[in-house]
């Protein structure tokens, strides 16, 4: 059976393959969530089998955990390890200042916890996610269920006060058109900001709002970004080795 792979998927696979060059036996890895990270998990499993690579991995979501488990990748948790050598994750949008928007897959909180515990964060992506100014991808904000409608209004007021007009804030929905619930039991609202002028200012204001757990802004956390192209080539920015 022939499986068609889109040009974006070819780019994602190329970036995932390049990221494997950073992995060495004995490492503790963080496994990201999303379509690009899934390519890395798949290729990592192949390398474990074919080359005898020895690693232990912390997944950032139930979906990634299940994929890694099905591929017989050794798993651990943050409770069982003091640090992570390398986390490999995707991004929904990135700029050349190493700022990211993540959370399209709904795992932003656990992704940020794992990234914060890692010595090195490597982002794998394709060129369609590159932006001169973040905001073209809706910004996910994770909120607790209690008082969610009130928190949503507070968030809308915050962004309005910061000069973002006509902002559309919507609850994330699942396939059944019900409110999406994260692995930690929270909700997500997505903010259509179009263009974020000062990412750190927005992050500071949102994270101080009662009821907000975390945002999808990953600022200055990534040290390396690998951008895959459909022809199999890659562009690497940032630190080239760890």
Query: What average pLDDT score do residues 212-241 get?
Result: 94
pLDDT band at 3 (very low <50, low <70, confident <90, very high): very low
At 4 the pLDDT is: 55
* DSSP3 helix / strand / coil % (the chain, rounded to 5): 35, 25, 40
Q: Is the pLDDT of residue 61 over 50?
A: yes
Helices (H) and strands (E) in the chain, counts: 6, 13
User: Which residues, other chains included, contact 168 with Cβ-Cβ below 8 Å and sequence gap of 6+?
Assistant: 191, 192
Distance separating alpha carbons of residues 181 and 124, to the nearest angstrom: 26
Q: And the tokens for 189? A: 């609202």
Query: What average pLDDT score do residues 162-179 get?
Result: 93
β-bridge partners, 56: 28
Nearest Cα residue to 85 out of 223, 238, 183, 236: 223
Kindly state the percentage of the chain with pLDDT values over 90.
87
Q: Of residues 93, 111, 142, 214, which has the active-site annotation?
A: 111
pLDDT band at 185 (very low <50, low <70, confident <90, very high): very high
At 50 the pLDDT is: 96
Computed over every residue of the chain, the mean pLDDT equals 94
pLDDT band at 1 (very low <50, low <70, confident <90, very high): very low
Q: Is the pLDDT of residue 220 over 50?
A: yes
At 88 the pLDDT is: 98
β-bridge partners, 58: 30
Strands (E), the chain: 28-31, 56-59, 86-89, 93-94, 99-101, 121-126, 139-143, 168-171, 187-192, 212-215, 217-219, 224-228, 234-238
With H, G, I as helix, E, B as strand and everything else as coil, classify residue 225.
strand
At 115 the pLDDT is: 97
Other beta carbons less than 10 A from residue 141's beta carbon: 29
Query: What average pLDDT score do residues 28-36 get?
Result: 96
At 124 the pLDDT is: 97
At 7 the pLDDT is: 74
Given a contact cutoff of 8 angstroms between Cβ atoms, the answer to whether 210 and 151 are in contact is: yes
Residue 223: exposed, middle, or buried by beta-carbon count in 10 A (0-12, 13-18, 19+)?
middle
Q: Is the pLDDT of residue 133 over 60?
A: yes
At 120 the pLDDT is: 97
Distance separating alpha carbons of residues 197 and 210, to the nearest angstrom: 23
Q: Is the pLDDT of residue 213 over 90?
A: yes
pLDDT band at 195 (very low <50, low <70, confident <90, very high): very high
Q: For the whole model, what pTM was predicted?
A: 0.93
* Domains with residue ranges and CATH for the chain: 7-128+220-231 (3.40.50.1360), 139-213 (3.30.70.260)
Q: And the tokens for 68? A: 């890694």
Identify whether 111 is a catalytic site residue: yes
């Amino acid at each position: 059976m022939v499986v068609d792979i889109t040009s974006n998927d070819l780019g994602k696979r190329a970036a995932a393959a390049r990221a494997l060059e950073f992995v060495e036996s004995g490492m503790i890895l963080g496994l990201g969530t999303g379509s690009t990270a899934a390519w890395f998990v798949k290729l990592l499993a192949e390398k474990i089998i074919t080359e005898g690579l020895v690693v232990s991995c912390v997944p950032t979501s139930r979906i990634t955990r299940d994929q890694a488990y099905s591929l017989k990748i050794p798993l651990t948790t943050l409770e069982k390890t003091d640090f992570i050598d390398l986390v490999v994750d995707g991004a929904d949008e990135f700029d050349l200042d190493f700022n990211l928007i993540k959370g399209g897959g709904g795992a932003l909180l656990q992704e940020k916890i794992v990234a914060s515990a890692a010595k090195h964060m490597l982002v794998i992506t394709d060129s369609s996610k590159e932006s001169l100014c973040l905001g073209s991808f809706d910004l996910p904000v994770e909120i607790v269920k209690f008082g969610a409608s009130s928190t949503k209004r507070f968030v809308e007021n915050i962004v309005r006060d910061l000069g973002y007009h006509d902002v559309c804030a919507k609850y994330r929905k699942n396939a059944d058109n019900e409110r999406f619930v994260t692995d930690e039991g929270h909700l997500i609202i997505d903010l259509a900001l179009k263009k974020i002028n000062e990412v750190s200012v927005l992050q500071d204001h949102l994270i101080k709002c009662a009821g907000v757990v975390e945002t999808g802004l990953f600022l200055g956390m990534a040290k390396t970004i690998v951008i895959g192209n459909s022809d199999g080539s890659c562009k690497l920015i940032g630190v080239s080795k760890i």
